[in-house]
């Protein structure tokens, strides 16, 4: 055993047996202190010579600087200065262990310890072969296994600031070393990240599992759930999760339903209730939503300022945080949170101006099977957001403009859709491992020029054909959305778009009943015809009057004037025409395709400003050729007209003038 004290006169050098390796030292007030100037890493170091294995201990005073990094150098190599560094990290409340070689540090271990400024601590390090056990004041702090410099016999002290000092240094050879006494402890793993979501399964719950390690002899292991916002409100009280713990480790699995309350888990010994550990990363059970495509999808999370919602988070750069922009995505989240008290976590990888198809001529495109960044970045984002689970509630796809501008055909785009979404579903699953559900925007308007109406319709037709053919893809029609520059939506339109996506989500989840509208009656009067259209219960907006834009009615003579579109009751709206149709009347509403189409959009009361022009731009019948819902006007009753009133004596036979009567059918 070797003990070194610093009882010399102020200004004396280090006592014999201690060697300054970096920087200079002197004795002051019975302490060993560093002196100016400050050297480069590894700062101030002195060592003694002992054996490769042994125990080093020393009382070390940590000063006021939270960035201080004082501690031990172990197994120092005088030839190159390499060593093991045990750092009492004041600013991080940790004991950290590093290797130092060629001027740089590499961390190999750490343990928690609550340090305070301007205090002395008694660290000790026991070296035994490839094991290094560090304790502070007799309490085990960290253990590492390393063969680094295993045969070196020099050990000592590292100071980082001039206000730090050492009272004494003691080294004991292996033969007399006693390991520090083991203390009882328990530790629970953290959630993968703060605000981490666990995607609820098809049954409405999710199971989160955490590894628990301990030292000592617990009779049983218990846990409770706390509201992470204050760590004092108990969500679920103490419950045993391991009645017969053994081997120093266990696994805690917790099944929960969605809740807007963030969760921390606390664990303890049943027989020593003061032995506890508490998580610091918040976690939830909720819905994870992927949004991807081009600018109209990207803008859902960027356009318009929002007020933060409890339980709504957006992914960015490896973590989830509370957003401040994105009125469209906020509308989606708000609807789900309101309906189900379910937190919503959105991952948006949309990129403006991007194409789906190789035929677009772009270097990078969504359906690129290898290379590029669009698809790999999406895979990486979802994988990181879900910590490898890769299951999400649904995906929202909004894309097509770039392919239209580049003249991609319907066949080319439909083929790419099939190939791309096969890849998407092979990578991501839906709730509980089910087939991922897709909500897809059908192509909207683009009045900027650069592509023909035929090009737009080709992409729109491909999207509708894919939707009709795939039982797990659901459409939202954005044709009548207001836009601000010929293609991009206004903030108000983004809000409505988000609400339409959410309503489609309601239909998917069975929260409401959804179906295409159907004609249930048509009645013709002298100067108008009323057509009653039945919509899904609970889905018809409660406004009294809806915009007539997007409604087209024609008969054999051509288009008829739609004078009004009004709500009649909870699931019926009435289209009123300015004149009676001739023969069969066909009604187009921007809704779906065919008799079995899924719901696309709902009546709205907002005024829609559309540009003048032809084809798509004027909402002529051709623009809705794929959205037809037809009905034959009901048989109209004959009109009886006996002419002017006449006085006739009783009992006399008289024939009324019927020339004014007619049966127009």
DSSP track, 211-266? EEEEES--S-EEEEEEETTTS-SEEEEEEEEESS--TTEEEEEEEE---SS-EEEE
Give the pLDDT score at 467. Answer: 86
- Could you tell me the residue range of the domain that residue 139 belongs to? 2-173
CATH number of domain containing 529 = 2.60.40.1220
Q: Which pLDDT band, with edges at 50, 70 and 90, does 146 fall under?
A: very high
Crossing angle of helices 374-385 and 410-427, rounded to 10°: 30
Q: Is 591 within 8 Å of 600 (Cβ atoms)?
A: yes
Give the pLDDT score at 639. Answer: 57
**Based on the domain organization, do 407 and 488 belong to the same domain?**
yes
Cis upstream peptide for 42 (omega within 30°): yes
Q: Could you tell me if residue 473 is inside a domain?
A: yes
DSSP track, 497-565? HHHHHHHHHHHHHTSS-----EEEEEEE-SS-EEEEEE--TTTS---SB---TTEEEEETTEEE-EEEE
**Based on the domain organization, do 11 and 160 belong to the same domain?**
yes
Q: Could you tell me if residue 652 is inside a domain?
A: no
pTM of the predicted protein model: 0.61
SS3 185: strand
Through-space distance between the first and last CA atoms of the chain, rounded to whole angstroms: 118
Instruction: Give, as one character, the DSSP assignment of residue 304.
Output: S
CATH number of domain containing 106 = 2.60.120.560
**Based on the domain organization, do 340 and 199 belong to the same domain?**
no
**Based on the domain organization, do 144 and 235 belong to the same domain?**
no
For residues 82-88, give the mean pLDDT: 95
Among 21-35, 190-204, 425-439, 571-585, the minimum mean pLDDT is found in 571-585
Among 388-397, 413-422, 512-521, the minimum mean pLDDT is found in 512-521
**Based on the domain organization, do 189 and 276 belong to the same domain?**
yes
Q: Could you tell me if residue 643 is inside a domain?
A: no
Give the pLDDT score at 595. Answer: 36
Q: Could you tell me if residue 439 is inside a domain?
A: yes
Reading the block at residue 99, the tokens are 């290797």
**Based on the domain organization, do 114 and 68 belong to the same domain?**
yes
Q: Which pLDDT band, with edges at 50, 70 and 90, does 626 fall under?
A: very low
Q: Which pLDDT band, with edges at 50, 70 and 90, does 549 fall under?
A: low
Per residue in 473-492, pLDDT tens? Answer: 988 877 667 778 878 888 88
Per residue in 350-409, pLDDT tens? Answer: 999 999 999 999 999 999 989 999 999 999 999 999 999 999 999 999 999 999 999 999
**Based on the domain organization, do 127 and 218 belong to the same domain?**
no
**Based on the domain organization, do 333 and 439 belong to the same domain?**
yes
Give the pLDDT score at 178. Answer: 53
Domain count, the chain: 4
Q: Could you tell me if residue 66 is inside a domain?
A: yes
Higher pLDDT among residues 120 and 556, named by residue? 120
Kindly list the distances between the CA atom of residue 453 and the CA atoms of 264, 476, 615, in Å, as whole numbers in the listed order: 55, 20, 7
Which residue among 281, 297, 319 closes a domain?
281
For residues 480, 483, 485, 487, the Cα torsion angle rounded to the nearest 10 degrees is: -50
Q: Could you tell me if residue 306 is inside a domain?
A: yes
**Based on the domain organization, do 423 and 565 belong to the same domain?**
no
Kindly list the distances between the CA atom of residue 103 and the CA atoms of 20, 43, 80, 81, 621, in Å, as whole numbers in the listed order: 18, 11, 10, 9, 76
**Based on the domain organization, do 317 and 388 belong to the same domain?**
yes
For residues 558-570, give the mean pLDDT: 84
Which residue among 237, 258, 281 closes a domain?
281
Give the pLDDT score at 514. Answer: 53
Distance CA 177, CA 186 (A): 26
Residue 625 has pLDDT above 70, yes or no: no
Per residue in 151-165, pLDDT tens? Answer: 999 999 999 999 999
Q: Could you tell me if residue 150 is inside a domain?
A: yes
Calculate what percentage of the chain has a pLDDT beyond 70: 83
**Strands 473-477 and 438-442, sheet pairing:** parallel
Per residue in 178-212, pLDDT tens? Answer: 555 668 999 999 999 999 999 999 899 999 999 99
Tell me which residue of 559, 502, 537, 524 sits closest to 632, measured CA to CA: 524
Q: Is 417 within 8 Å of 459 (Cβ atoms)?
A: no
**Based on the domain organization, do 135 and 264 belong to the same domain?**
no
Residue 600 has pLDDT above 60, yes or no: no
């Amino acid at each position: 055993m070797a003990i070194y004290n610093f009882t010399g006169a102020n200004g004396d050098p280090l006592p014999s047996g201690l060697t300054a390796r970096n920087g200079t030292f002197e004795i002051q007030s019975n302490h060993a202190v560093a002196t100016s100037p400050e050297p480069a890493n590894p700062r101030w170091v002195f060592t003694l010579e002992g054996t490769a294995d042994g125990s080093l201990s020393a009382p070390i005073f940590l000063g006021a600087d939270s960035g201080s990094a004082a501690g031990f150098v172990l197994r120092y190599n005088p030839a190159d200065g390499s060593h093991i560094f045990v750092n009492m990290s004041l600013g991080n409340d940790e004991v950290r262990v590093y290797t130092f070689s060629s001027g740089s540090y590499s961390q190999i271990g750490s343990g928690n310890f609550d340090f305070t400024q301007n205090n002395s601590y008694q660290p000790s390090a026991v070296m035994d072969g490839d094991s290094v056990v560090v304790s502070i004041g007799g309490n085990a702090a960290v253990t590492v296994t390393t063969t680094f410099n295993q045969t070196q016999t020099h050990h000592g002290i590292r100071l980082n600031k001039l206000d730090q000092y050492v009272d004494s240094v003691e080294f004991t050879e292996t033969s007399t070393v006693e390991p520090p006494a083991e203390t009882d402890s328990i530790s629970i793993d953290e959630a993968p990240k703060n605000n981490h979501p666990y995607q609820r399964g098809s049954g409405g719950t999710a199971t989160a599992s955490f590894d628990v390690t301990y030292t000592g002899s617990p009779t049983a292991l218990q846990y409770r759930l706390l509201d992470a916002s204050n760590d004092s409100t108990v969500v679920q009280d103490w419950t045993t999760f391991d009645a017969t713990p053994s081997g120093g480790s266990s696994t805690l699995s917790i099944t929960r339903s969605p809740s807007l309350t963030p969760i921390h888990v606390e664990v303890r010994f049943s027989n020593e209730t003061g032995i506890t550990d508490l998580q610091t990363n918040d976690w939830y059970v909720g819905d994870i939503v992927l949004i991807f495509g081009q600018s109209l999808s990207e803008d859902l999370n960027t356009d318009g300022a929002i007020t933060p919602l409890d339980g709504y988070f957006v992914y960015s750069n490896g973590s989830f945080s509370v957003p401040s922009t994105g009125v469209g995505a906020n509308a989606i989240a708000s609807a789900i949170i309101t309906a189900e008290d379910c937190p919503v976590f959105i991952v948006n990888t949309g990129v403006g101006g991007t194409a789906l198809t190789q035929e677009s001529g772009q270097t990078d495109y969504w359906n690129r099977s290898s290379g590029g960044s669009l698809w790999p970045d999406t895979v990486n984002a979802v994988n990181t957001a879900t910590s490898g689970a890769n299951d999400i509630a649904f995906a929202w796809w909004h894309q097509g403009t770039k392919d239209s501008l580049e003249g991609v055909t319907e066949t080319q785009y439909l083929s790419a859709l099939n190939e791309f979404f096969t890849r998407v579903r092979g990578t991501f699953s839906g709730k509980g491992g089910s087939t991922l559900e897709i909500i897809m925007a059908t192509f909207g308007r683009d009045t900027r020029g650069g592509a023909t109406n035929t090009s737009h319709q080709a992409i729109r037709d491909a999207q509708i054909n894919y939707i009709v053919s795939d039982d797990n893809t659901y459409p939202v029609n954005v044709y009548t959305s207001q836009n601000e520059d010929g293609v991009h939506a206004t903030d108000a339109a983004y809000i409505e778009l988000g609400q339409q996506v959410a309503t489609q989500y309601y239909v998917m989840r069975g929260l409401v009943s959804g179906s295409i509208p159907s004609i249930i009656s048509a009645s013709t009067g002298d100067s108008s015809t009323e057509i009653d259209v039945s919509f899904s219960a609970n889905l018809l907006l409660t406004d009294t009057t809806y915009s007539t834009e997007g409604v087209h009615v024609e008969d054999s003579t051509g288009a008829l004037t739609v004078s009004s579109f009004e709500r009649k009751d909870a699931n019926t709206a009435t289209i009123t025409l300015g004149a009676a149709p001739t023969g069969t009347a066909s009604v187009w509403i921007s809704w779906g395709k065919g008799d079995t189409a899924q719901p696309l959009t709902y009546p709205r009361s907002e005024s829609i400003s559309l540009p003048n022009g032809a084809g798509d731009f004027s909402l002529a019948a051709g623009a809705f050729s794929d959205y037809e819902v037809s009905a034959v006007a009901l048989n109209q009753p004959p009109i009886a007209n006996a002419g002017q009133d006449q006085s006739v004596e009783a009992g006399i036979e008289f024939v009324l003038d019927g020339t004014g009567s007619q049966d127009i059918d």
